[in-house]
Amino acid sequence: MSIPFPRAAMLAVALLPCLATAAPLSLEETLGLAARRSETMRAANAGAASAMEAARSAAQLPDPTLRVGIDNLPATGPDRFRTTGEPMTMKRIGLSQEWLSAGKRAARQAAADAAVERETVRVEAAAANTRRQAALAYVDAFYAGESLKLARLMEHHAREELEASRARLSSATGSSQEALALTGARGASEDDTADVLQQQGIAAIAFERWTGVAPEALEPPGPLALPSEPDYVAAHPAVAAMRRDLDVARRSADVTASEREPNWTWEIGYGQRTGRADMVSVGLSIPLPVAPAERQDRNTAAMRALATKAEADLAEAIRAATAEYRSLRSEAQRLEQRIDRYRAGVLVPAGQRTAAATASYRSGQGSLVGLFEARHAEVEARRKLLALQRDLARTQVQLAFRPLAAEVAR
């Protein structure tokens, strides 16, 4: 009986999700998911937008002031509170404007631009931290999955060998001690698998926290481009942030120093009188700094001290970043050497031992327990190598993803 074409098409569409296999998630795709999901980056972008908006008005003059009043209004007598009874009464309206010199406005604009650059660095620092944390979660999730594969392989071996031992025992060719030993080994391997499953669950939670998806299938992390020491130190988030803080402190000190020269305020007004000519008034207000050494100069000295503090913080951040790079680089080199040495000195002999034990068992000269021990030793060696590779990948992630983009760090 044939199925009509529309029904066949609908059935194929319904079965398509079951038949399709999700493609493994790569590290780059993971970083993209984390960047789109990060609320820290959204907050940093909002801070940068705020600084940009503030910078656009930094060099503008203050708003003018509208002045309205009545002069010489009678307070007693028959014309009390009348604006038209006394010729000296004058209704007045005027404008005043505080004037900032070009040098002051340039200093304020420079300080605002420095604040924008600082917020830009914070945006990139948030992005770098998100990428680094997502990459670390990716590495942990991938190697947890690989470790689970080895644990399940060990569990499969234990069950397989226990069944073989029971068969040998029933045929009187095996021993009860061998069966009991393999029974205990199976229990230990099952417990080991449960422990690895728990670790994988923790890694999956961390991965989903940064990406919003479960790590169902992950590609092996490929080689990462590692920076040199000068590039790492220059682009370190703490160093870049301290450098921008120093710039902001210096610009703010320049703004404070410019306040030693007072701002002038000009004013113009128009007065209307009853029965007499209207009048126009102009004026200029100049603050008199009577004690600049006790006020303005002290404020400037305070800001200069903050700039000196920022210089010291920057120098300390450079030292810390240098030490951090050298420590991570040394750790990566040490792990690379250990991996090469472990692969050649432990893993290869373990594989050869398993092959020899298998051949001996099949020829009837070796015991099942000996075969199990050889297999167990090989799997444990592979798991140890996997742990070393995970540690190396985490160290390389710290080196590759902690620095900021080169154009932002300058």
Q: What is the pTM of this model?
A: 0.79
Instruction: Print pLDDT tens along the chain (410 aa).
Output: 444 444 444 444 444 444 445 688 899 999 999 999 889 889 999 999 999 999 998 888 889 999 999 988 888 888 788 888 788 888 999 999 998 888 999 999 999 999 999 999 999 999 999 999 999 999 999 999 998 888 888 877 777 666 766 665 555 555 566 566 667 767 777 778 888 889 889 999 999 999 999 888 899 988 899 999 999 999 999 999 999 999 999 999 999 999 888 889 999 999 988 888 889 999 999 988 888 888 888 989 999 999 999 999 999 999 999 999 999 999 999 999 999 999 999 999 999 998 998 899 888 787 767 777 888 889 889 999 999 999 999 999 999 999 997 655 55
**DSSP character string of 121-146:** HHHHHHHHHHHHHHHHHHHHHHHHHH
| CA separation for the pair 303, 372 (Å, rounded) | 73
Domain residue ranges in the chain: 29-409
Residue 329: which region, alpha, beta or left (left: phi > 0; alpha: psi -120 to 50)? Answer: alpha
Annotation: CATH topology of 29-409: Outer membrane efflux proteins (OEP) (1.20.1600)
Q: What DSSP assignment string belongs to 376-405? A: HHHHHHHHHHHHHHHHHHHHHHHHHHSSPP
- Interior CA angle at 199 toward 137 and 397, to 5°? 25
Of the candidates 36, 39, 63, 57, the residue with the CA atom closest to the CA atom of residue 116? 57
User: What span, in angstroms and rounded, lies between the C-alpha atoms of 150 and 157?
Assistant: 10
CB 182 within 8 A of CB 162: yes
What is the rounded CA–CA span in Å between residue 231 and residue 305? 30
**What confidence score (pLDDT) does residue 367 get?**
73
Q: Quick one: pLDDT at residue 14? A: 46
Side-chain-side CA neighbours of residue 296 (13 Å): 15
Alpha carbons 335 and 141: distance in angstroms, whole number: 20
Predicted confidence at residue 64, as pLDDT, reads 93
Q: Where are the alpha helices (DSSP H) in 293-405?
A: 296-342, 348-362, 368-401
